[in-house]
Structure 1
Amino acid sequence: MLRTSLRAVADPLRSHICLSCIARRQIAPVPLRQFHRIPALRSEAIESKPELPNVIGNNGSDIPVPKTEEASKDVSQEQQSDGDNTNVEGGSPQADGRERSKGKARARERQRRSKKTKNAEEAKQQEGLQEFKPANESEGVKEDQSNAFGSGIKNSPGARLLNDLFNKQPTSTSTSTSTSTFTPTAQAPKERASKSSISHLSSFIKVKETGKIDLQNDKLEALDVPQPPVPGLAFGLDRVLFNPGVYQLRDPRSRVYNFDPYLGNIMPVTEFDFDTLKEYITSSRDETLRETAIKHGKKYAGSSSSMTTVLSQFHYLLSAWRGVDTRMISQGFPDKLRTFTRLLRAPAAMFLHYQDGTYAIDADKEFDSANILMNLGKSMEKMLTMPKEEYERYRRSHENKITAEEENAVPESYHFSTLGDFIMRSQLDAHDPRLPGTGMFDLKTRAVVSIRMDAQNFEHGLGYEIKDRCGEFESYEREYFDMIRAAFLKYSLQVRVGRMDGIFVAFHNIERIFGFQYISLPEMDQSLHGTSDTTLGDTEFQLSIKLWNEILDKVTARFPEQSLRLHFETRDAVTPFMYIFAEPVSKSQIQTIQSKNKDKIEAYQQRLLNLTPKEGDADLDAPMTDEAESPVTAPEETAEIEPVERSLFAMALSVKNFVNGKEVARPENLTASDEWTIEYELNEVSAKQGATLYKMCQTRRQKALDVRGEDEVDVAQNVYIRRLRNISKLGRKHREQENELDNEAGVVTYGEK
């Protein structure tokens, strides 16, 4: 007999638990039934043994439990035999008889209570109340009531312990051939229950609408719109496109530059003339986009930047909050988080501008704030795609400085794509004909962690440098891990909207560039979807667009020919669901919301562009003021921009995923031969309850966006930020030593002899 010993906390004696008895009885009272040394107590435990159904293992072998009268007699005989054995061991027959009588009485009482509870549960089922249903039942497998792991017993402590002991999964005794297609991943999905994911809203639902979405008739299509040529990479950086991993600008061991040392020093934002750059055109102000939408009969028009936040919410819904895959990270990396960052999980908001029969999608900028990375990204994109002499013309002090007229003479290049009623625009940054597909790729300038976590006060993190490939800090591994959690989802969606091949990343600390890396779409999909086959990500993207299309059709039918403000939020429940809120807004209200922080942004830009280098770093360790910690408007001011009387359309969306006709929690390892379809349920919520949920959603969004950094709060008091600042301080000393070595030994570049 297999036994294990547990030492009691308050008692030096050992209490023994018989695991084979647990296997026989499937479930034991809490605490688990003890194997007693005292014969009388052991006899009592045997007499009080409840009658429970069979346990069936994965190998199909049964551990029989008596069910018939004959079997019950066998049990009685076995119990009597046990009682006889106790006498042999020296127990008193009179005491044993009294204990057996007490045990039988207690057993009868438990059976009576169990029967009463069972009758009450059956009565509830007849009244229509929903109860727990195992995951495999939702996939067509009928749960046998004789299975010890069904109907509540399978979650008991004894059954769970038995499963863990033998490393088995609960199975059904049904003869059905249906099986679950669940595949274990780094983060196991939550068990799907039959109970509705929005049952808490059941009393507030006014209208329910169901439907099915597949991709049999609609596919992403490219529009042939003539465009000017797209530039390629300069300084020989195209070598990075065809080498996986990081390409360091300078080898730290040999101190040899792999590329032109000019890339090592970034032009300060105070010297770059941003006034000469072309202004970014939003979807609502893009006449070409609107005309193209009308020409092709499309109803909704958006850009990659305005659509990705909402599409991210659909990813959470369809993937049931799949955790990120970090197998690309080394085993020694200490950070074990597998969730997306706080900023990425925040509710998404957008405006739907009505214009001549079409609706333009703009991102909601109510809580936007300025930072240096917005400016630096524009200037660095120019540096990476232009010869040195031409790029220097953007310097304010250059004698032949480029003019705004020259800059505007070269129009931007875009890709236009359609799916359903959507037309999507994507700005093109760079091109190389040797890459697969269209050869297009996106340029991304990625600041180091010390800058990203406090971009408003970037001066504190200027000394932080990347020195190693792996490690918790000052490594490319740290930056890659943070990109997985904070940026890959957004990057991959932008790549898909623009029909690109991947992204080219330049790692920097605002002052210096440390290295480059080309990350293809399959590599991003590996971290996001657990597979390098882009079929899963492509299918999810297209299903998201079609599901979004259905929602917007319903909203615009409720408020025809009106501009709207919408919020989308996927809630992390046992079965995820999405809140959707829509309200009509006027042009003046949109302008008020979009320009809410305009004055603060302009003031920051003025301070930034007139910034002078600081002497010393004594002030860098001082706590930040309250003014610096509040980059956006206080919550009390939010109510001023909202209309006093408004019509609100609140909905709750839940979906079911089907792969090849079989329901799954989330698709895994999808291939081109698989068919993924979605059944959705869209429930309209009553006005009063919808207003309450809407206010809560807006509050959650503000709290998520009202702090700087990707995933940190309370910057001044945060230990993590303090650590980054200390590393930056040491990095500034390291840079001084490196500069001294360069002055003494000179600079060597690859290719020079």
Structure 2
Amino acid sequence: MQRSVIDGARGGGRLISGCARNQRVVQSSHLYCRSDCYGCFRIVSSCSVHSEAAVSTKTRKVNNSVKHLGKASRKNKNDFSALIHEAMKGVVNPKREEIGSVKELHVQPDVAAVAKDMNGSDKETDGKRKIADRHAIRAYLYRKVHSPLNIKPEGHIGLTKTDFLENFKQYTLLSSKIQPLQTVKPSGALHVDPPELAHGLEVVLQHKGVVPLVDLKSKQLQFSDFLKKIPSVAETNWAAIPPFRSPSNDTKLHEVVSEYNQKLDPKDRVKYIASTSSMTSALGLVYLVLSNFKDPMQNGFSEELGKIQGFSRYVSQPVGLIMRPRVGTLAIDSEKSPVSQETVLMSLGHSMERMLTMEPDIFNARLLLNTAKNSQKDGAQNYAYDENSADAEPQSYNYTRMGDFFLRAQLDAMDKKTGLIFDLKTRATLKIRYNIENYKQGVSYLINQLKGENHSFEREFYDLIRTAFIKYAYQIKIGRMNGAFVAFHNTDEIFGFEYVPIEEIDTYVFGGEYWGSIAFDRAVQLYNIFMNHAMSLFPNRKPEDSVRIVICPLKASGSLHFFVQLIPANEEDPCSGENLVKILEKLSPRLRPLTSRILDTDLSRIVESIPRTQNADSLGINLTNLKGFSVNTISFVNGNRKSGAFNVEPKDKYDVAYKITPLSSKMPARVFLQVWSQMYDIAEMARPGRTRNK
């Protein structure tokens, strides 16, 4: 008998020959039992656990059979009946369908194909049509996004908002008015849609859960085998990929901003230009302070993953920004590391995005070097990107104003049928991420199971929550997108795909979609205030001078420290990454030459060798133009102060107050080395088997 067998999560729904919960074997897989265990319903012949009557789902008995299900399951039985009839008509329901923890999409099946799938027979239903030789796309759901929030008990409720502000007048109450995102459309510019997914990958958007490239049960390829093998770094033609332009180097962005500001009164013009990449990390730090360093939601997964709690330490790593004068504004660029160059993951991410959106012949012609294509043409030239050429890869952007910020967001992909616009994300396995410099050693690590601590899609998604989802959330919101399309890989092959809507990302990061929206709005408003305060520290700054801002979170005190450095034009930058490397080499000769990241244990030994009372200027650094301030926030929900983790629902009234306090002009040498080394990404966490490259 032909059967479809699909594993789900934690006893989740299966199309099987026995009860999905107790695994007992029965004689037929074509009977439908409505059993509400773990919120799923299964297709079984009977369920001894629930003692519910089984009902035939054969086509001729659908309407009569569902009557046995009872009133409690009437809505679901109607949905199921409709699904059967739609399939028999050869019609695909475009909605994301879920049967327990399993979702299937039959792409335009004919009657015979459905009959075979339903009855386990190759018999033709009309005597004319041949059996369709295609299987259903299978998706696997391995988590419970609807689970209760995994947050600590709410903190002590002390003074009310009124009493607190009465007694602590140094705090300023932030306006509770929502600051809308203003869409900016450049005049005269042609709108360019982002590319669509290729290879039939758009079906992933209709599923909840991961869609493996090779089905976990049948071992059949679910998409083109073109996606199986990822071209190596050596095979890829990097000249074919449009270069990334930082906000300070994007002349087209400058033209758009200049045109926009000229239409406004001087007092209403934007002050800062930024991209999503130079904005999201800083906003993430503001959110940490705003939420009292609340952990993300991490339940609904396998028990063995529960020992890894909270955001990754990289989420709370100091952030460095360089603000350069451009077209009457300040362009905000992310600070670059003097030792950490672009990793293989960043490089492959660019090529894999095109792998997902280009047809194979176009991808191979442009993105593969002629040597990799075994080109027989003498003197054949590799394709090179030229933005002025007629066949140049189009670049799609959304421009948005938020307060004093003018933001550029690149749009990776869209689905024209649904109107969804989304980010493309490529996620390497944990074995690769933990040892990027020796990534080839991790190529043997495969994702070959749904759940578990290792080698599973569940583990990779769990790590996404801890390390990247807060960044994804802000990128998607700034770009006015709908979600993220994630491809899981090990730099050599792709294992599967998953579309995660912004609503789900908000649930994991913030605890709910509503609080995610409110927290984003308040974080942007506070960040705007803090940046304006930072610029006010140097009232005599010349128009051509730049400014460096380093933002460092302190969980123990629940505060953010801002270090603001004026960098006069045509003068040496005493706090540059290159100067920091020289200082570290001088303090620890064994690290010479320092050309790659060091372990944080090595950095700790260097820092601890310096007396606590020693100031940073003793290191030979001129800190005359460096100033700082700390920021504290207090949150109120329905007038009550929250000093611990909390959530905000639509029925709640949320307020936040902030306080800005100057820091001492004398910076300890230990603080400077620790903060600047982390900001420049010079140190990395020690892991088993990891040693500094010689």
User: TM range, normalised to the smaller chain?
Assistant: 0.5 to 0.7
Report the 3-state secondary structure (helix = DSSP H, G, I; strand = E; otherwise coil) of the residue aligned with 2:531: helix
Q: Deviations over 1:254-292 (max 9, x none)?
A: 221100011111111111110222111001112233333
Q: Which residue of 1 aligns with 2:326?
A: 355
Q: Does 1:583 align with 2:561?
A: no
Given that residues 593 and 641 in structure 1 are in contact (C-alpha distance below 8 angstroms), is that contact kept between their aligned partners in structure 2? Answer: no
Q: Which amino acid aligns with 1:263?
A: L
Alpha-carbon spacing, 1:639–1:470, altered in 2? closer, same or farther (3 Å): farther
| 2: CA distance, partners of 1:558 / 1:598 | 24
CA distance in 1 between counterparts of 2:243 and 2:298 reads 38
Contact 1:631 1:706 in 2 (8 A): no
Q: 1:593 to 1:271 in 2, by over 3 A?
A: farther
Q: Which residue matches 1:187?
A: 152
**Would you say 1:536 and 2:497 are equivalent positions?**
no
Uncovered stretches (5+) of structure 1, i.e. residues with no partner: 1-182, 195-207, 600-624, 722-753
Partner of 1:364: 335
- Normalising by structure 1, what TM-score? 0.60
Max radius of gyration: which structure?
1
- Give the alignment partner of residue 503 of structure 1, picking from 475, 484, 489: 484
Distance 1:251 1:444 in 2: 21
Matched residues in 2 for 1:667 and 1:223: separation?
A: 36
The residue aligned with 2:95 is none
Q: Shift of the alpha carbon at 1:186?
A: 3.0
Deviation at residue 700 of structure 1 after TM alignment: 4.0
Shift of 1:648: 2.2
Give 1:594 shift: 7.2
Provide the residue aligned with 2:292 in structure 1.
Answer: 320
Letter in 2 for 1:497: I
1:216 aligned onto 2:177: yes
- The secondary structure found in structure 2 opposite 1:369 is coil
What one-letter code is carried by the residue in structure 2 that aligns with 1:220?
A: L
Residues 140-155 of structure 1 mapped to structure 2, 5 A cutoff? none
Counterpart contact for 2:335–2:680, Cα < 8 Å = no
Does structure 1 retain, via aligned residues, the 8 Å contact 2:298–2:306? no
> 2:671 maps to which residue?
696
Q: Any gaps of 5 or more consecutive residues in structure 2?
A: 1-147, 160-168, 262-268, 582-592, 608-615
1:686 aligns to what SS in structure 2?
coil
Shift of 1:185: 4.5
Quote how far apart the aligned CAs of 1:545 are: 1.2
**Aligned partners of 1:598 and 1:559: how far apart in 2?**
24
Match of 1:303 in 2: 275
Cα drift, residue 587 of structure 1: 5.0
Q: Which amino acid aligns with 1:662?
A: N
User: The residue matched to 1:716 in structure 2 has which SS?
Assistant: coil
Counterparts of 1:487 and 1:287 in 2: how far apart (Å)? 30
CA distance in 2 between partners of 1:224 and 1:640 (Å)? 51
Residue 360 of structure 2 corresponds to which residue in structure 1?
388
Say which of 312, 328, 345 aligns to 2:316.
345
Is 1:482 the equivalent of 2:463?
A: yes
Structure-1 separation of matches of 2:395 and 2:409: 10
Q: CA deviation at 1:540?
A: 1.1
Tell me, what secondary structure is at the counterpart of 1:396?
A: coil
Contact in 2 for aligned 1:350/1:567 (Cα 8 Å): yes
How far apart are 1:667 and its partner, in Å?
7.6
Q: How does 1:12-411 map to 2 (within 5 A)?
A: 185-188=150-153, 191=156, 210-216=171-177, 218-225=179-186, 226=189, 227-294=191-258, 295-296=260-261, 297-330=269-302, 332-366=303-337, 368-393=340-365, 394-397=367-370, 398=373, 399=375, 401-405=382-386, 409-411=392-394
Cα deviation, residue 309, structure 1: 1.2
C-alpha separation in 2, matches of 1:659 and 1:589:
49
Aligned counterparts of 1:231 and 1:184: Cα–Cα separation in 2: 36
Cα offsets for 1:173-222 (capped at 9, x unmatched):
xxxxxxxxxx984334554778xxxxxxxxxxxxx964222242632222
Matched, 1:630 2:598: yes
Whichever residue aligns with residue 310 of structure 1, its letter is A
Partner of 1:659: 637
Offset of 1:597 from its aligned partner?
A: 11
1:216-246 superposed Cα distances (whole Å, 9 cap, x missing partner): 2632222123432210100000011110100
Tell me if the contact between 1:369 and 1:597 (Cα under 8 Å) persists in the aligned partners: no
Match of 2:439 among 458, 468, 483: 458
Structure 1 residues 495 and 695, CA, compared in 2 at 3 Å: closer, same or farther? farther
* Change beyond 3 A, Cα 1:594–1:242: farther
- Deviation per CA, 1:683-735: give whole Å up to 9, x if none: 112312xx23x8515514525875777xx4145369xx9xxxxxxxxxxxxxx
Residues 426 and 406 of structure 1: CA distance in aligned 2, closer, same or farther (over 3 Å): closer
Q: 1:570 to 1:584 in 2, by over 3 A?
A: same
Structure 2 letter corresponding to 1:328: G
Range with bigger deviation, 301-310 or 347-356: 347-356
When residues 353 and 707 of structure 1 are mapped into structure 2, their CA distance, relative to the original with a 3 A threshold, is closer
User: Once the two structures are superposed, what CA deviation does each residue of 1:430-454 show, in whole Å capped at 9, x if it has no partner?
Assistant: 0113446xx2100001001110000
TM-superposed deviation, 1:639: 8.8
Contact kept in structure 1, 2:156 and 2:642, CA below 8 Å: no
On the 8 A contact 2:158/2:641 being kept in 1, the answer is no
Task: Give yes or no for the alignment of 1:553 onto 2:532.
Answer: yes
Per-residue CA deviation, residues 290-312 of structure 1 (Å, 9 max, x unaligned), is 33334231001110001111111
User: Where does 1:710-721 land on structure 2 (aligned, <5 Å)?
Assistant: 712-716=685-689
Deviations 1:586-607 (A, max 9, x none): 35679897774999xxxxxxxx
Contact 2:197 2:356 (8 Å CA) reproduced: yes
Could you tell me how far apart the structure 1 residues matched to 2:553 and 2:157 are?
16
Residue 335 of structure 1: how far off its partner (Å): 4.1
| Pair 701,503 (structure 1): closer, same or farther in 2 beyond 3 Å | farther
**CA distance 1:209–1:223, change in 2 (3 Å):** farther
Residue 404 of structure 1 aligns to a residue whose secondary structure is coil
Distance 1:264 1:535, change over 3 A: same
Task: Describe the SS at the equivalent of 1:333.
Answer: helix
Provide the rounded CA distance (Å) in 2 between the counterparts of 1:469 and 1:184.
Answer: 23
Q: Does 1:422 align with 2:405?
A: yes
Change (3 A) 1:515 1:592: farther
State yes or no: 1:572 paired with 2:555: yes
Q: Residues 406-436 of structure 1: CA distance to partner in whole angstroms, max 9, x if unpaired?
A: 7863442111111111111111100113446
Structure 2 SS opposite 1:687: coil
Partner of 2:311: helix, strand, or coil?
coil
CA distance in 1, matches of 2:149, 2:235: 53
Is the 8 Å Cα contact of residues 324 and 485 (structure 1) preserved in structure 2? yes
1:71 corresponds in structure 2 to none
C-alpha RMSD of matched pairs (Å): 3.5
How far apart in 1 are the matches of 2:559 and 2:579?
32
3-state SS of paired residue (1:516): strand
User: Normalised by the size of structure 2, how large is the TM-score?
Assistant: 0.64
Aligned residues of 1:707 and 1:713 also touching (Cα < 8 A):
no
Deviations 1:557-598 (A, max 9, x none): 22144421111122112x611111111013567989777499
Can you list the C-alpha shifts for 1:465-492, whole angstroms capped at 9, x where unaligned? 0010001110001101111111111111
SS of equivalent to 1:649: strand
Q: Secondary structure at the match of 1:269?
A: coil
* Equivalent residue number for residue 679 of structure 1: 657
